[in-house]
Amino acid sequence: MPLMHSYFDLHKKKWNKQNMPSKFNDPNVCGFYMGLVKDLSSSDILELSVLYLNNDIIAMHYGFVYNNRYYWYTPTHNYQYEKYSPGKLLVAELVKTSIERKINVFDFLRGNEKYKYFWTDKEIKLFSSLMISNNIISKFKFFVSFQLKRVILATNFGKWLRVLKLPFKELHG
């Protein structure tokens, strides 16, 4: 598929300009992406979006639509047009068409890249992890902080914290 090769080349050039390796330098990664194109071509799940200026590709996005949710997966843009924000223009068009298609969520997925916060200030935390030392003091602190948080959040004060969206961090260390 020639469009996919343009996508890989654009991604490589963009990352090379930043003196960083593109994941598409690895033929196995390219093969994985091409395999998804082949496997999902008969469905409406995979979307390869392209933004042109005349005959030049200035931005592309490889993403998915599933279960009424748009997944912003792997974008790239032509660095020669960077000052015109082609990535931002492509996101704007994809958000607009997602709304028109009545897609409920535009999911930027993981990562805290600055451009994502131009579009939203809302984050949905999917998971978190915690590591504690294997000593009795750490275990005790964890148990107390976990129980304390649970008790406080069950009170009216806890409900008030949630309404104000104030951070309530656990007291363990």
**Residue 82: pLDDT over 70:** yes
Which residues are bridge partners to 40 per DSSP?
none
Helix (H, G, I), strand (E, B) or coil at 51: strand
Residue 110: what pLDDT?
Answer: 77
Q: Distances from the Cα of 86 to the Cαs of 5, 57, 61, 99, 159, in angstroms?
A: 19, 10, 11, 20, 42
Find how far residue 159's CA is from the centre of its chain. Answer: 29
Report pLDDT for 1.
Answer: 74
pLDDT confidence of residue 47: 87
Question: Does the structure show a pLDDT above 80 at 13?
Answer: yes
Please answer whether residues 10 and 77 qualify as being in contact, where contact means their C-beta atoms are separated by less than 8 angstroms.
yes
Confidence of residue 172 (pLDDT cuts 50, 70, 90): very low
pLDDT in tens, 115-145: 777 777 777 776 666 677 788 877 777 766 7
What pLDDT shows up at residue 173? Answer: 36
Q: Which of 115, 113, 123 is nearest to 90 (CA)?
A: 115
Q: Which domains does the chain have, with CATH numbers?
A: 2-119 (3.40.630.30), 128-173 (no CATH)
Are the CB atoms for 57 and 6 separated by under 8 Å? yes
Percent helix, strand, coil in the chain, to 5, is: 50, 20, 35
Residues 16-73 have pLDDT tens digits of: 888 899 999 999 999 988 988 888 888 888 888 899 999 899 999 988 888 888 888 8
